[in-house]
A and B are shown apart, each in its own frame.
Chain A
Amino acid sequence: MSVDQKKPGVTTAEASIDSGRRNFFRASAAGVMGASALLGIVPEQIRNSAWAAGTDAPEITEVKIGFIPLTDCAPIVVAAEMGFDKKYGIKIIPSKEASWAGVRDKVVNGELHAAHVLYGLMYGVQMGIGGQQKDMAVLMALNNNGQGITLSSQLKEKGVTSGATLKRLLDNENRDYTFAQTFPTGTHAMWLYYWLATYGIHPFQDVKTIVVPPPQMVANMRIGNMDGFCVGEPWNARAIFDKVGFSVATSQDIWTDHPEKVLGTTAEFIAKNPNTALAMTKAILEACRYIDATANRSKVAKLISGKAYVNAPEEVIEGRFLGHYDNGIGKKWEDPNYMKFFNDGKVNFPYLSDGMWFLTQHKRWGLLKSDPDYLGVAQKINQIKLYTEAASQLGISVPKDPMRSSKLIDGAVWDGKDPKAYAASFKIKA
C-alpha cells in the first residue's frame, strides 16, 4: 500500500498496525505532511507505536552495493531484482566493479555503501595490509563453498591429476610454475596457499604466485600465462567448458562449509546508518534464504548469468550451482557441499572463529608481521549483535556459540581457541 495515496488518520490506524506504522513514518519522513500534524489526529495508542517504529526508518534509502562477477554475488542481485530490498524500505543498487582493490577503495571512501567482498580482504583493510587502515564491518556472510582450484590441461598431459602428483612434477622439473589467485589478502589466496602447502609445496618458494581478476582467469590460462588458479565459480566450470583446464580440488575439499564472501562495509557507515545497515542485512539475508531453496536455483542462475552481472553462459553457472560437479577429467559427482547461501542461517552468521582464521593465515604467510589481537579484531569487525537482530526479526535461528570447529584438508582442527598457537603450528609458512 502506498502512503501517498492514503489519507493519514484513523483509516491507516485501523488497517494492520504493522504495515501501517511503517508507512506512517515514511509519510512523515518524506515530508508528505508535517509529522506533528499527523500525530495530532491519530489515537494515542497508535501514535506511540508509530513513534517507536519511527526510529527504525532507514537513514539512507538508496543503497549502492558493489559486486564482482562471480556466482556468489547472487544475494545482492536477487535482493535488488526480486524486491527483497523494498520490503525493508530500501532500494539496493548493485554496482559491477572491475577489481577487488577498486571495491576496497570505494567502500573505504564511501562511494559504495557496502559490497560483496572477500572475507579476508575485510580483515586485511582492518589491519592496514597493503594500504591505509580503516575500521571495517562484516554484517553477515553471504556464502560457504563453491570456489575451486583449476590446473591447466598441459599439466594433465604431464600426468598431474592431484596435489600429490603436482608435487612430484615440481620436484622433478626445473622450470617456474605460476599460480594465480584473486587478491593478496583474499580468500582465494588463502585457499590456494593452504592447498599447495598441504601437499608440501611452498606457495612463494616452490612456485610463482600472481594475481588475476576472476573474469580474466580462463583467458589467461588459455594463452599459457599460468599453470593453475584458484577462483570462485563459475570460472572453474568455465575452464572445463572451454577445455583449457580441469578441477583438481574444490574449496569445500579444503574446508567443508568454509566462509567465503561477506556483506562488508565500514564501521563508520553502520555507526551513521544503523537502520539502513539492519534493513540491508535483512533484505540480503532473505535473498540468501530464497536462493538456497533448490526450486529457486535455476531461476537465480538465469538471473545472474546476464551481461549486467556475471556475464557467463547460464549452463556454465547452473551445473555447479545445483551441485552437479564434473572435474573435467572423468569424475562426476553430486556434491552435498556445493555453494550454500543459507543452510538454516548457519552460512550467514558471522562466526568470530571464521574471521580470526583469516588473521591466522595472514600471519602465517607474513602479511602480518606479528600476532594481532585475534579475538579483539574479530569482535570489532563481525557485527554479531546487528546480525542477531536481523535474523531474529526474520525468525532465523542464530548459533549460540560465536566459535565453530572445523577440520581442514590437512587434518588440522581450527576452533578459534588458540589462534596464536594455530598460526604458528604450520610447517610450511613465510
Chain B
Amino acid sequence: MLRVMLVDNHLERTAPLKQTLSEAGYEVIAHLTDTANLDDAVRKLQPDVVIIDTDSPSRDTLEHICVMSANTPKPILMCTHDGNTDKIREATKAGVSAYIVGGLTNERLKPIMDAAIARFDEFKALRHELNEVNSKLADRKVIEKAKGLLMKQRGIDEDEAYRLLRNMAMNQNIRLATLAEQVVQAAKLLL
C-alpha cells in the first residue's frame, strides 16, 4: 500500500482529498500544516508520495530535503486551484511529477498517482544516466589532456602515452581519470 503524506496549511481544503485517498486504498501517514516539522516528518516517515499545494510556503522546505538527500527524493504531486491546461503542461515539463486540479474523484485518483510515480521514476533514471554520461565526458577530457602532456614532455606518440597512463593506473589500482587528473595537476606545479 502506498504511503502518502499531505502538506497543506489549509486543513479544510485538503480534508476531502484525505478521505478520497483513504477510500482509494492509500495510506495517509501524515497531514502536516507546519513547515518546521516537515523536515523531520519526511525523514522519519519516508512517504512514497508527497502531495502539496502549489502555493504552499512549505515547498521550499520540501525542496531542501530532496536536494540534500539525493537518495530519498519522492514523487511530489502539486494541488493547484488554477485549471489552465497549458500551465499544467508547462509545470509538468518543469519537473513537477503531476498537477492535481481542484477536487479529486475516486476514479481519477489512481491513474493520476500511477502516472506521477511512473514519471518520477523515469525522470530519476534519466537523471542518473545524464550524470553518468557527464562524468564520462569529463573523464575523457582530462585523460586527453594528460596524454597530451606526456606526449609533449616525453616525446612519445599517443598510443604510448595512453599505455603508460593505463599501466600506471592499474599498478596503483586507481581510476585512469584519477591518475590523469594527478598528472595534469602535477604538470601545473612543475612545468
Contact = CB atoms under 8 A, between A and B. Distances in A.
A105 B96 contact: yes
Q: How large is the interface on A (under 10, 10 to 19, 20 to 34, 35 or more residues)?
A: 20 to 34
Interface stretch (A9-17, A93-101, A152-160, A374-382): A93-101
Majority-rule SS of A interface residues: loop
Interface string A329-373: 000000000000000000000000000000000000001011000
A182 interface: yes
A130 B67 contact: yes
Majority-rule SS of B interface residues: helix
A109 B63 contact: no
B131 interface: yes
Chain B CB within 10 Å, residue with most, of A101, A132, A184: A101
A204 B68 CA distance: 10
A109 B90 contact: yes
Contacts of B135: 369-370
A111 interface: yes
A102 B64 contact: no
Interface stretch (A30-38, A162-170, A205-213, A293-301): A205-213
B56 interface: yes
A99 B59 contact: yes
B36 A212 contact: yes
Interface string A175-217: 0000000111100000000000000000010000111110110
Contacts of A183: 60, 63-64
B61 A211 contact: yes
Interface string A98-128: 1111100100111100000000000000000
B87 A111 contact: yes
Contacts of A108: 94
A226 B39 CA distance: 12
Contacts of B58: 99, 213
Contacts of A130: 63, 66-67
B106 interface: no
A132 B95 contact: yes
Given A109-B87, A134-B94, A210-B36, A98 B56 contact: yes
Instruction: List the 7 closest pairs (A to B, CB-CB), nearest first.
Output: A132-B95, A109-B90, A211-B64, A225-B36, A130-B67, A213-B57, A101-B59
